[in-house]
Amino acid sequence: MLKPSIALRLLWKETCQAWPWYVFGALLAVLAIPLMLPDRLIGWKGQVRDYPWMLVSLAMSVRGALLAAQRTRQSYAAAHFSLHPERMPAFAFAVNLLGVLLLGLAAGGWFAAHRDPLLLAPIVFFFTVAFLLGYVTAAVFGKSYAGIVAGIPWLLFFYQMFSDQLRTPKSPNVDLFYGTFDQVLMYSGCLVGGLLAVLFLLISHRLPLIVRCGGMVFFMALGLASSMLIGNEFRGFGQNNDYYTISAQRLATGDGARVVEFIREERPQPFYTLHFTDYRRGREARQRVTVPYLLLGFDGPDSLLLIGQRRWEGRMHVVRWRLTENRVEPVFAFRIRRGALHAGLADSSRHIVSLRPDGRFAALQLPSLLGEYAADLWLLDLRQQHARLVLVDQPGSSLAWQDDYLVAGTPVPKRISLTTGKAGPFPIILQEVRR
């Protein structure tokens, strides 16, 4: 253990060296409160509001990198205190980590009070992970330069992941506890990975350099991977991610006489109920299913077509629900990437389904793997029992059927031949009419 007097002197040394970073960070964080920026400044360029946050994140990364780069250098303190050579960097790291956490708490608390309590945890985590990233990278490469540049991708990540959240006015519809816990759970992977990497660095001074560097990279990568995994798969405390991202659906005939609803069961999870009601005849049917389905459409008076995929399965299943017999039977299945349907269900603006009135063809639009702003359009031939990807384009708002073509309401409308599957532009020649 450190003697209190030495610890106090080391703390004073760290404070003298590090205070400009935290003052700078705190000032920027205060500046970042959008309410404190006049509208005329942020009016045409909303991203101005994100820069202070990004700069604080980068500053923490730089601080970590400088700290790591200094750890092997001889200093006044190392020469004058009777300390183990590894103890002083460990102490400096701990003090700075505490400083970053306090800054995150202060800035996040300030933001929470003025804007949205849900953002407290992400702010603390982003600053801390930026610090750890800078520290670990600089320690691996032995240069502060490497740590600084590692902060730049983090800055971009920050911009993409966080700035949209900062711009949203409030989150009244999100359960505060679940929402905060979600964020904490997700970013904790990065945090734990970074802390493990630093711990490994501090205790592995007898190992060869290459092993120490490799170990740190391994822990950091493990942390990032676990964060991504938590974010994608297990987000949510005590809740099934699919269960909450998949919304209820209702499909009704135009006269309202026949209705099918896809309902999430409260308990036991993750079961869903398909509930059909024929109001005209006073008839009902229910099916409990474990696979999330999209309601494709009524195929005749007594049959409903559904499409579903288990998250980890590389196939999409088209099934028919015989309503009078209350029996679900498979129609066919086709190959599709894993998680395709869930990506669509989680992003309601990019999934659309449509069934041709004669029930021969169906179309399905889902978010594409190839870009955040792209959507895949699948054409399903229900008689020949096969499906093909016919278009990757910007998401369309509607699908319709015209003779032997599928028409997609993409920004430049497209027409897809049902026989060849070839997509071409759908020309709209406009002539204004008086009304």
Partner 1 sequence: MRRLFWKEWQERRIWIAIWLLTGMVTTALGKGQDVCDIGWMGSSWMNIIPLMALLTGLGGYGSELRGGRATFLYSRAVTWKQILAAKLLLGLAVVAVSVLLNAAAGYLFLPAEYHHLITLHGVLSGAYLVGGLSALAFVLGLAGSLVLPGLAGGLLVVVGWVVIMNVLALFGRSESLFGPILLLLAPLVGGFLLARFGVTLHGMARVRRFALIVLAFAAVGAALDYTPPAAYLYKKLNSQVGAGPESYYNVLFSPDARYVYLERSINRQLIPCLVRLSDGWFSFIDSSSYENRWLENGAFLTMKSAHRTVGKPDTEELHLWQWQGQNLRSIQIKNAGSLGINYHALSPDGRRLLLGESNQLLLCDLTTGKTRTPAKASETKLRILYRREPNKIHGLLWCWWQTNDEIGYLDPFTKKRVLVPLPALSEP
Q: Residue numbers of the site for partner 1 (CB under 8 A)?
A: 44-45, 51, 58, 62, 65, 141, 143-145, 148-149, 152-153, 155-156, 160, 252, 254-257, 259, 279-280, 282, 335-337, 368-374, 376, 389, 392-394, 396-402, 407, 409-413, 425, 427-435
β-strand partners of 285: 276
Rounded to whole angstroms, the Cα distance separating 146 from 279 reads 68
Nearest to 295 by CA among 284, 285, 306, 303: 306
Nearest residue (CB) to partner 1, 82 versus 420: 420
Nearest residue (CB) to partner 1, 214 versus 413: 413
| Residue 374: alpha-carbon gap to chain centroid | 17
Q: Answer positive or negative: Cα dihedral of 418, 421, 422, 425.
A: positive
DSSP string, 231-270: HHTS-STTS-HHHHHSPPEEEE-TTSSEEEEEEE-SSSTT
Nearest residue (CB) to partner 1, 35 versus 430: 430
CB of 318 to partner 1, least distance (A): 16
Rounded to whole angstroms, the Cα distance separating 423 from 140 reads 51
Nearest residue (CB) to partner 1, 180 versus 368: 368
User: Is there a contact between 296 and 362 (Cβ–Cβ < 8 Å)?
Assistant: yes
| Ordered alpha helix ranges (H), 204-339 | 209-232, 241-245
CB of 302 to partner 1, least distance (A): 18
Query: In which residue are the tokens 């384009």 written?
Result: 393
CB of 12 to partner 1, least distance (A): 26
Nearest residue (CB) to partner 1, 181 versus 244: 244
CB of 354 to partner 1, least distance (A): 9
CB of 412 to partner 1, least distance (A): 5
User: Is there a contact between 308 and 270 (Cβ–Cβ < 8 Å)?
Assistant: no
| Ordered alpha helix ranges (H), 32-143 | 39-42, 50-70, 76-80, 87-114, 120-141
CB of 44 to partner 1, least distance (A): 7
User: Is there a contact between 281 and 296 (Cβ–Cβ < 8 Å)?
Assistant: no
Nearest to 100 by CA among 194, 33, 182: 194
Q: From its phi and psi, is residue 86 left (phi > 0), alpha (psi between -120 and 50) or beta?
A: alpha
Nearest residue (CB) to partner 1, 85 versus 424: 424
Nearest residue (CB) to partner 1, 39 versus 255: 255
Nearest residue (CB) to partner 1, 91 versus 158: 158
CB of 4 to partner 1, least distance (A): 35
Nearest residue (CB) to partner 1, 85 versus 425: 425
CB of 145 to partner 1, least distance (A): 4
Structure tokens at 418: 């049902």
Q: For residue 36, what is the DSSP state?
A: G
CB of 146 to partner 1, least distance (A): 9
